[in-house]
Amino acid sequence: MARNDPLPGEQIEGPRGLGFIGGAVLLVIFALLAAAPMALRAGRQPDRGSLAIGALRTLTTAETLYRQRDTDGDGRYVYGSLAELGAAGLIGPELAAGRRTGYVFKLEVVPGAAEKRWWAVARPERPGVDGDRVFFVNQDGTIWFGLKDVEVDPATGAVPAGMSAIGR
């Protein structure tokens, strides 16, 4: 008759644990699991979208100041181009050239409505590497984003379809 229960004071034989090799294997597995997220991100830059948003806020402020000061001195209170904002010292040379922190910026004053309307769009220089989002802002000051490239109607400067508001 086989007995399953140990007698008092009797030791049960069986697996004693992982041992040195088993512990080393577990340590290697944990190290690989911890390193996996870093390895996956190693070939990709962080999304620089927040830096592009900051640059669009800078452009919004610069446009307001440029218009209020009649910076070009022609007696008309109009919005300015990237080059004009740069020449007035309202933005830095990098942004005035249309590139900053992995994004390409385009700013246009609406023809025939330079006193009232302007718009700007920021696109990642290398989509999927420098960023995944496209940003838009106009004279209203609300920043919008989309996951696909957009075409802006240069005659109106209206918010392109398919974009969502981030805020001011």
Tens-digit pLDDT profile for residues 72-130: 788 889 999 999 999 999 999 999 999 998 999 999 999 988 899 999 999 999 998 88
Task: State the SS3 of 46-77.
Answer: CCCHHHHHHHHHHHHHHHHHHHHHCCCCCCCC
Tens-digit pLDDT profile for residues 39-83: 444 455 556 889 999 999 999 999 999 999 987 788 889 999 999
Has this prediction a pTM greater than 0.75? no
Mean pLDDT along residues 27-38:
55
Residues facing 144 on adjacent strands: 136, 165
pLDDT at 42: 47
